[in-house]
Each structure stands twice: as C-alpha cells, then as structure tokens.
C-alpha cells in the first residue's frame, strides 16, 4: 500500500521501530519463531505487555478516558504494521480486546474501576468461557447453570476449548440463569475468579502435540462454584446481548499485518530454496501463487482500514467483523500451506523436541523448517474458533446481504 506519511507520522513510525528494537528481545523473538500456537512463556507475554503499558501503547483502541493513547487511524495503522513487520508478540486478546470493551459498554462504574486498570496494566490474564461440549456454533443451547443463592450464584457445568485457561486469573463466562422462554433470554454474563473453589482445568492436546503446561486449550469444570452476583455484567438474563457485542471484537481481529509478515517470510524462504536448478522465487508457478496471496492480503488490509476508520467515527464493527474473520482466517491457512510447500522436504520431519521452549537440539534442515508443519496443523483452528467460518457465512448472508 502506498501511503505518503506526514513528517509527524514518519517520526511516530521511527519511534515505534526504536521501541520494538529496545524492548522485544532476541530471546523472545527466537521463542516466538518456534511457537506453533502464537503463545510462548507466560512471563514473556507479561513482560512485553507491561513494557507497552509503561509506554502508554498497550491498548490502541481504548478510549483516552480509560487509558487509550488517543491515536488517529493512521497512527494505529502504523503501530500495527510495524509490530507485525517485526514479528512481535501479539498482546493477549481476552482481556484487552474482548472483555474490556464489554465492561466499558455494559459494566457499572464500580466494575469499570475494579477491572479495567488491571487489564490495562496486564496484572491479570483472562480466558473465555463461551463454548461447551455440545454448544459451539449453537451457543444459545449452553447449559452451565448459575442458580441464585443469597448474594451469590452457584455455578455448575463445564466449558470447553478454553484457550490458556491454565494461565488465567479470571474467566468471562456465559451461564444459564433461566430455562424459561427463548433460549437466548435465559443467559447471563459472569466474571469468575479462576481460584474459586470448585473449578478444575484439564488440558486438551491438539494435533500440534503441544502438551501441558503449554497446551493451547482446556476443558474447565465448575462444581458448586460460588460467584458473587456483583460479578455479573449487564442485567440477569440479558447476557446474550453482551455476548454478541464481545464477539464483534473477537471476530474483528486485525489480520493484515500478520498476513504480510507471513507473505514476507515465504518470499524469504523461496529465495533460499531451489526449484528446477534455480531459485524457487524465480519459478513462475510458485511466484504466481505468492502474488495471489499478496493481492488478497492487500484486500484484507483495506477492509480492516475501512473498519478502523468506521470505529474511529464512533460506529460499531457489527456484522462486517464476520467478513474479516472469514477472509483473514482462510488466508492464515493458505499462507501456512504455501510455507510448507516452499519448505519442501524439510517441512516433513515433525520433531516436537526441537520446538520445546529452551530446547538446544539442532533442527533437521534450515531454521525456518521445524515449525512449518506444526503451524500448518495448528492453523486448522483459525476457521473454527471465534465461530466457524460456515456460521460466519450465514451471518454475512443474513445481516449484510439481507438474504
Ligand atoms: C484452538 C481453538 C481455541 C478455542 N478457544 C476458545 C475459547 O477460548 N473459548 C471458547 O469459548 N471457545 C473456544 N473455542 C471454541 C470455538 O468457538 C468452537 O469450536 C466453534 O464455535 C465451533 O463449535 P464446535 O466446536 O462445537 O463445532 P460445532 O458447532 O459442533 O460445528 C461442527 C461443524 O458443523 C458446522 N456447522 C455448525 N452449525 C452450522 C450451521 N448453522 N451452518 C453451517 N455449518 C454449521 C461447523 O461449521 C463445523 O464445521 C476454540 C476452538 C478452537 C479450535
């Protein structure tokens, strides 16, 4: 994309670059390069986020009154692009990008004062308790019960696919507070301290084989868990409205910078790999595939910029977040696939040991090879989490195209 930045914007870009060079350590970069899930050690995430917080940059989309930097759309774009280009850790979304906007919109003043400063400063790690065994796409069928008992609720049930629950201090949960009327009308949105007695977290190992304690997803069990009613966001039985609002933010994630980073990496690999006696990058069939990915990445970027400017003008992300989710997540997978293709035979050995944090085993093949296959497998998740792409297509058809 060709943008003429003003002198101030160029100065801002240089400041972002200098900040990254100073704070995103080589060690963290090396760990990220091996990570298949996008997560590395918890303390590394916290240290990076606290550095961003100290600089006042941790929450580009938060309003100034809650600690946002008050940036223009162009500054946000520069910031995101520079972070992605440098391959920095992504700030963990559950607190900053998911539950925080919900608390700002539906929380009481006490709840805002209690939760938002800790989210901003990365004093707490959140996880998301929406899906249940049997309730994923059909989320309104969820059965985890919260029954009033004095000033509390007693919660019983189970949540599944809960990302990084083993690291979380708090979980935001959808619970059933009524079985009367329409299913959507009996749901409430609760914030639960993960240390409350009666909560058990069990790891689920996915096909990338990342095991405890670094597993990506879990099942969380609630047995007679006592939760103050004061932890409910919004009115009782009005949690569906809150839940949908949060999903707009979850699905409207920024993909373009990451996609650009992925395309750049393939280009780099293709300059080193061989094909028909020459460089892979000079192979016309391969170059055409790479060019197609670049074009689509640019289209995703423009859609995101449109969304950013609408947000800047005070509009909601709305159903257009489903377009971003479908296109962005499909592109993540296409880039993973072309990375494996470019890496060729060296993508085949899947040696978990090489990828373990702190492993000092020599990889088979070049440094970019060992994570390629594991990432490819892990990326199957992208078209499922946050609501599967099939379901997003239905939302686009109904709410945008009016079909
Ligand atoms: C890696 C990963 C991390 C996740 N993290 C979290 C998390 O932190 N918190 C959380 O709450 N959830 C999380 N999820 C769960 C995720 O939101 C659900 O997996 C997703 O909503 C799909 O639900 P399901 O798995 O029950 O599949 P199902 O709903 O059973 O769907 C099975 C298949 O049927 C298709 N299908 C279902 N309904 C329709 C329809 N109406 N039209 C067309 N096709 C349909 C789906 O597209 C899918 O292909 C995560 C999932 C993954 C894979």
Whether the per-residue pLDDT at 1 is higher than 50: the answer is no
Of 212 and 106, the structure prediction assigns the larger pLDDT to 106
pLDDT of 190-200, one tens digit each? Answer: 999 999 999 99
pLDDT of 383-398, one tens digit each? Answer: 999 999 999 999 999 9
Exposed/middle/buried for 284, CB within 10 Å: 0-12, 13-18, 19+?
exposed
Exposed/middle/buried for 157, CB within 10 Å: 0-12, 13-18, 19+?
buried
How much of the chain, in percent, has pLDDT values that exceed 90?
70
Beta bridge partners of 192: 171
Q: Which residue's alpha carbon is at the smallest distance from atom 39 of ligand 1? A: 391
Binding site membership of 343 for ligand 1 (Cβ less than 6 Å): no
The reported pLDDT for the residue numbered 87 is: 86
Q: Which of 388, 396, 397 most suits a substitution to test ligand 1, by most atoms within 8 Å of the C-beta?
A: 388
pLDDT band at 252; cut points 50, 70, 90: confident
- Tell me the CA–centroid distance for residue 132 and ligand 1, in Å: 10
Whether the per-residue pLDDT at 102 is higher than 50: the answer is yes
pLDDT of 36-68, one tens digit each? Answer: 888 999 999 999 999 999 999 999 989 999 999
Whether the per-residue pLDDT at 211 is higher than 90: the answer is no
Q: Which residues contact 160 (CB under 8 A, 6 or more apart)?
A: 131, 132, 133, 204, 217, 218, 219, 220
Binding site membership of 394 for ligand 1 (Cβ less than 6 Å): yes
Q: Which residue's alpha carbon is at the smallest distance from atom 7 of ligand 1? A: 162
pLDDT band at 305; cut points 50, 70, 90: confident
Ligand 1 closest atom vs CA 94: 8
Mean pLDDT score of the chain, rounded to an integer?
92
Rounded to two decimals, the pTM is: 0.93
The reported pLDDT for the residue numbered 2 is: 44
Domains detected in the chain: 7-91 (no CATH), 124-242 (2.40.110.10), 252-400 (1.20.140.10)
Ligand 1 closest atom vs CA 133: 26
The reported pLDDT for the residue numbered 365 is: 87
Q: Shortest CA distance to 266 belongs to which of 345, 364, 376, 368? A: 368
Average pLDDT over every residue of 233-237: 97
pLDDT of 143-190, one tens digit each? Answer: 999 999 999 999 999 999 999 999 999 999 999 999 999 999 999 999
Ligand 1 closest atom vs CA 159: 11
pLDDT of 318-363, one tens digit each? Answer: 888 899 899 999 999 999 999 999 998 898 887 777 777 667 777 7
- Three-state helix/strand/coil letters over the chain: CCCCCCHHHHHHHHHHHHHHHHHCCHHHHHHHHHCCCCCCCHHHHHHHHHHHHHHCCCCCCCCHHHCCCCCCHHHHHHHHHHHHHCCCCCCCHHHHHHHHHHHHHHCCHHHHHHHHHHHHCCCCCEEEECCECCECCCHHHCCCEEEEECCEEEEEEEEECCCCHHHCCEEEEEEECCCCCCHHHHEEEEEEECCCCCEEEEEECCCCCCCCCCCCEEEEEEEEEEEEHHHEECCCCCHHHHHHHHHHHHHCCCCHHHHHHHHHHHHHHHHHCEECCEEHHHCHHHHHHHHHHHHHHHHHHHHHHHHHHHHHCCCCCCCHHHHHHHHHHHHHHHHHHHHHHHHHHHHCCCCHHHHCCCCCCCCCCCCCCHHHHHHHHHHHHHHCCCCCHHHHHHHHHHHHCCC
Whether the per-residue pLDDT at 3 is higher than 70: the answer is no
Lowest mean pLDDT among 22-26, 212-216, 225-229: 212-216
Binding site membership of 92 for ligand 1 (Cβ less than 6 Å): no
Average pLDDT over every residue of 90-101: 95
């Amino acid at each position: 994309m060709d943008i003429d930045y003003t002198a101030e914007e160029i100065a801002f870009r240089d400041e972002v670059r200098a900040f990254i060079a100073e704070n995103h350590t080589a060690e963290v970069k090396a760990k990220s390069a091996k990570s298949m899930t996008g997560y590395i050690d918890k303390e590394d995430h916290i240290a990076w986020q606290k550095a961003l917080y100290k600089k006042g940059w941790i929450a580009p989309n938060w309003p100034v009154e809650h600690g946002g930097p008050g940036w223009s759309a162009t500054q946000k774009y520069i910031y995101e692009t520079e972070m992605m280009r440098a391959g920095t850790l992504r700030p963990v979304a559950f607190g900053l990008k998911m539950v925080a906007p919900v608390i700002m919109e539906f929380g009481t003043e006490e709840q805002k004062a209690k939760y938002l400063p800790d989210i901003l400063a990365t004093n707490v790690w959140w996880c998301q308790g929406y899906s249940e065994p049997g309730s994923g796409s059909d989320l309104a069928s969820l059965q985890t019960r919260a029954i009033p008992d004095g000033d509390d609720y007693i919660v019983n049930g189970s949540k599944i696919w809960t990302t990084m629950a083993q690291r979380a201090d708090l979980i935001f949960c959808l619970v059933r507070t009524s079985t009367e009327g329409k299913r959507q009308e009996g749901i409430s949105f609760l914030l639960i301290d993960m240390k409350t007695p009666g909560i058990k977290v069990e790891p689920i190992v996915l096909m990338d084989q990342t095991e405890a304690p670094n597993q990506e997803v879990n099942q969380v069990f609630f047995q007679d868990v006592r939760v103050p009613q004061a932890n409910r966001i919004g009115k009782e039985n009005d949690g569906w409205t809150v839940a949908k609002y949060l999903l707009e933010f979850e699905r409207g994630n920024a993909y373009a910078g990451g996609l650009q980073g992925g395309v750049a990496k393939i280009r780099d690999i293709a300059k080193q790999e061989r094909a028909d006696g020459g460089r892979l990058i000079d192979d016309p069939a391969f170059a055409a595939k790479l060019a197609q990915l670049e074009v689509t990445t640019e289209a995703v970027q423009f859609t995101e910029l449109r969304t950013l400017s609408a947000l800047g003008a005070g509009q909601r992300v709305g159903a257009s977040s489903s377009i971003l989710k479908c296109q962005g997540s499909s592109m993540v997978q296409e880039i993973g696939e072309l990375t494996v293709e470019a890496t060729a035979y060296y993508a085949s050995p899947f040696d978990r040991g090489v990828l373990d944090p702190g492993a000092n085993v020599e990889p088979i093949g070049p440094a970019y090879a060992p994570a390629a296959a594991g990432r490819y497998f892990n990326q199957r998740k992208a078209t499922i989490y946050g609501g599967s792409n099939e379901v997003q297509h239905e939302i686009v058809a109904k709410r945008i195209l009016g079909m």
